[in-house]
Amino acid sequence: MNQSTMTRCFLLLGVLISSSLFAEDKDGFVQMFNGKDLTGWKTNGNWVIEEGNVLTLKPREGESGWQRYDDYIATDRKYGNFILDLEFKFNATGNSGVFMRVGDLKNHVTSGFEIQILDTHGKKKFGAHDCGGLIGTSAPAKMVVKPAGEWNRYTITLKGSHLKVIQNGVPIQDLDLSETKLSDRPAKGYISFQDEAKRIWYRNVRIKELK
């Protein structure tokens, strides 16, 4: 086998391995993490994969909570219409966020939009900056986030300007983004998770792209 043939074989093997890691399940969803490393993602932060294909943030020395904004983890590619299904948990006072359609990776907040993750279990009066809120825009219909240390689930559907969010089986957002102050955000962009220098865990992160 000559060098050229060997190179082609290795390239084909790489494609096959990548395809097997990110294959569709029976419902048409694709796992966004391969259980081993951060292939398909980019970050400057200390995001690591743990057993069970769990993504977690481990703040480094000198990184204190509520003071970090630049070490998000973001997809390598952009997404437009999709269903994003994931689980998350946090410690007491935990804080993170699921960002979508981010147009500028140097400024996630003003070029995309965020579904909040925050330790607000049991809060009676809540707004757009509490867990389940569309930051700066829409409060969740109900406060259904579980206590710190327990797994929660988001199922986020984004098609055109229509956003729907189900948290722990309860619909909490259903709105037309074109009728909000986020109407100028891109129709396609990166998906990212926020670094607030607080422990956060994500697992079973799956996506199903829509036409």
Q: What is the pLDDT of residues 96-113, one digit of tens each?
A: 999 999 999 999 999 999
| pLDDT > 50? residue 10 | no
pLDDT mean over 35-63? 95
Q: What is the pLDDT of residues 162-204, one digit of tens each?
A: 999 999 999 999 999 999 999 999 999 999 999 999 999 999 9
Q: How far is CA 120 from CA 60, 128, 163, in A?
A: 25, 12, 22
What domains can be seen in the chain, in order of their start residue?
23-209 (2.60.120.560)
pLDDT mean over 12-18? 45
Q: Are 102 and 158 in contact (CB under 8 A)?
A: no
Q: Are 156 and 84 in contact (CB under 8 A)?
A: yes
Can you give the pLDDT at residue 1?
Answer: 62
Prediction pTM value: 0.88
Q: pLDDT band at 17, cuts 50/70/90?
A: very low
Burial of 26 (C-beta count, 10 Å sphere; 0-12/13-18/19+): exposed
State how far the Cα of 28 lies from the Cα of 207, in Å rounded to an integer.
8
